[in-house]
């Protein structure tokens, strides 16, 4: 019973470190016990008792992991690993690295959808929609360059492209994907500085759609996503630590 035997790799946590350390402790347990994708984790009550924390603390930690696609709960059966977990040994906290790896998995799906969205938008958009995409891009870049909060403008810009694709389901799927990944409040992937390197490319994307050039739109969206992916990898590798 490899999952249950994994408990011997845990030690009780000090009260002052519980909120920060519980996920690190679970990652360490999984690595040292040799648990792999598909293996079952020990029950919540056993994890809580071994770490010396409340069951609600364990449940909150596992909720975070479930939101990242790291585990899957099966009602009446237990909790199973669905992604590789390895404890961090360097400067990057384990949770930041796990968030980054989950974001990279999510971007694989997003890339496939975004390629089709921008291609269809470049083909199907009306003149009014193309002009609106260009206008919203100008507003987005103005917010970014002024150092103001930019997320609402970014959502409006991309939402206009989703609408212009002619299939409203694309927008629903991509918005749901964005919301599916749970990020901590202090996560570098939630910081205002994250993704800034990609914003100059937004102008090129708007121009490709305005020019009714589907091939160029696909090339540009991939460059944009490559830029974001490179930033994620830099963060989880410790080459770019953000506040």
Reported as a single tens digit per residue, the pLDDT across 118-143 is 999 999 999 999 999 999 999 999 99
Task: Answer whether residue 129 is part of any domain.
Answer: yes
pLDDT of residue 189: 85
pLDDT class of 9 with cuts at 50, 70, 90: confident
Verify that 179 and 231 share a domain, yes or no. yes
If asked whether residues 64 and 108 sit together in one domain, one would say no
Pair 203, 101 in one domain: yes
If asked whether residues 138 and 227 sit together in one domain, one would say yes
- With a cut of 60, say whether residue 19 has pLDDT above it: no
Q: Name beta bridge partners: 74.
A: 78
Residue 160 lies in a domain: yes
Helical (H) or strand (E) element with 81: strand 78-81
Residue 88 lies in a domain: no
CATH code, domain carrying 148 = 1.20.120.530
Continuous segment of H or E residues that includes residue 172 = helix 168-180
Instruction: List the domain range (segments joined by +) for residue 47.
Output: 2-81
Looking at 63-77, 80-94, 204-218, which range is the least confident one?
A: 80-94
Q: What is the pLDDT of residue 16?
A: 44
Instruction: With a cut of 90, say whether residue 201 has pLDDT above it.
Output: yes
Task: Give the total number of structural domains in the chain.
Answer: 2
From 81, 111, 139, give the residue that closes a domain: 81
124 in the same domain as 22: no
Same domain, 53 and 134: no
User: Tell me, what's the pLDDT at 1?
Assistant: 59
- 198 and 143 in a common domain: yes
Q: How confident is the model at residue 240 (pLDDT cuts 50, 70, 90)?
A: low
User: What is the model's pLDDT at position 204?
Assistant: 98
- Say if residue 227 is in the same domain as residue 127: yes
Alpha carbon distance 70, 65 (integer Å)? 5
Among 1-15, 23-37, 72-86, 166-180, the range scoring the smallest mean pLDDT is 1-15
Residues 167 and 72 in one domain: no
**Is 241 contained in some domain?**
no
B/e letters for 102-127, b = 16+ CB within 10 Å, e = fewer, are bbeebbeebeebbbebbbbbbeebee
Q: Tell me the per-residue pLDDT of 55-78, one tens digit each, with 9 for 90 and over.
A: 998 998 898 888 888 999 998 899
* CA pair distance 63, 46, nearest whole angstrom: 17
Cα-to-chain-centroid distance, residue 1:
33
Mean pLDDT of 50-59: 90
Higher per-residue confidence, 5 vs 115: 115
Global pTM?
A: 0.78
Same domain, 63 and 146: no
Long-range contacts of 180-186 (CB under 8 A, 24+ apart): 180/67, 180/106, 181/67, 181/68, 181/69, 181/99, 181/102, 181/103, 181/106, 182/63, 182/64, 182/67, 182/68, 183/99, 184/64, 184/95, 184/99
Q: Which of 48, 81, 114 is the last residue of a domain?
A: 81
């Amino acid at each position: 019973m490899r999952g249950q035997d994994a408990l011997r790799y845990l030690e009780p946590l000090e009260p002052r470190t519980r909120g920060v350390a519980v996920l690190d402790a679970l990652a360490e347990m999984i690595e040292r016990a040799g648990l792999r994708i598909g293996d079952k984790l020990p029950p919540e009550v056993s994890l809580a008792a071994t770490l010396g924390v409340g069951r609600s603390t364990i449940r909150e930690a596992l909720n975070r992991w479930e939101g990242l696609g790291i585990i899957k709960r099966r009602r009446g059966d237990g909790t199973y690993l669905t992604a590789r977990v390895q404890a961090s040994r360097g400067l990057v906290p384990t949770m930041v690295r796990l968030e980054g790896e989950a974001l990279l998995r999510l971007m694989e799906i997003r890339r496939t959808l975004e390629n089709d969205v921008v291609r269809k938008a470049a083909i199907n958009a009306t003149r009014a929609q193309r002009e609106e995409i260009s206008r919203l891009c100008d507003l987005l870049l103005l917010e970014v360059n002024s150092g103001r909060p930019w997320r609402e403008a970014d959502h409006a810009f991309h939402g206009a492209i989703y609408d212009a694709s002619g299939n409203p389901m694309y927008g629903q799927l991509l918005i749901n994907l964005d919301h599916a990944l749970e990020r901590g409040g202090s996560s570098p992937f939630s910081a205002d500085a994250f993704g800034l390197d990609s914003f100059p490319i937004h102008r090129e994307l708007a121009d490709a759609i305005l020019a009714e050039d589907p091939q160029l739109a696909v090339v540009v969206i991939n460059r944009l996503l490559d830029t974001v992916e490179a930033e994620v990898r830099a963060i989880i590798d410790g080459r770019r630590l953000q506040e």
